[in-house]
Amino acid sequence: MQYKLTEETISLNASANSKEEATRMAGHLLVRGGYVDESYIDGMLAREKSMSTYIGNGVAIPHGQFDDLTLVHRTGISVLQIRDGVTWENEEKAYLIIGIASNSDDHINILANLAEAIEDPETAKLLAETSEISVVLDHLNAPNTNT
């Protein structure tokens, strides 16, 4: 199953004082997109306490836990850009927080699609600094979807 990133699940130039606040913000974007119940956000926060979702290049990918699968309505992602960054782990800063909602193995496909875009430091930097939603859509939408 593919996901479709939309403008309503992207927030550019946001600010957060903590990774918990940033995780909540990414979760609220998933709720706004109709991907999850609001209680899914608690699972995202719990996941972060048990295992960091920071993946490098200034990117974190908060998502829920196995117990939260019933709270997912459909597969989707949200993108929260924090230009000043927010400390995530070991003094590493995250500038791009990508919330993931999936109630099946779709998360593996999502991660594969995202990895292509964000494993390149230059692309990750572009996404962290852009003021154009179209740039985020072009780089992070799943292949074979129309934007």
> Could you read off the pLDDT of 113-130 as tens digits, one per residue?
788 778 888 999 999 999
**Residue 36 domain flag:** yes
Q: Directed axis angle between helix 106-118 and helix 133-140, to 10°?
A: 120
How many CB atoms are located within 10 Å of the residue 137 CB? 17
Instruction: Say if 51 falls within a structural domain.
Output: yes
Tell me whether residue 104 is in a domain: yes
Average pLDDT over residues 24-50: 96
Q: Is residue 146 a part of any domain in this protein?
A: no
**CATH number of the structural domain spanning residue 34:** 3.40.930.10
C-alpha atoms less than 13 angstroms from C-alpha of 7 in its C-beta half-sphere: 5
Give the chain's domain count: 1
Marked catalytic residue, from 63, 73, 107, 139: 63
User: Is 63 assigned a catalytic role?
Assistant: yes
- CB-based contacts of 38, cutoff 8 Å, min separation 6: 27, 28, 31
Range list of H helices, the chain: 19-32, 40-50, 106-118, 121-129, 133-140
Domain that holds residue 75: 7-140
Is the full-model pTM beyond 0.85? yes
Of 12-21, 39-48, 97-106, 119-128, give the lowest mean pLDDT range: 97-106
Q: Is 133 domain-assigned?
A: yes
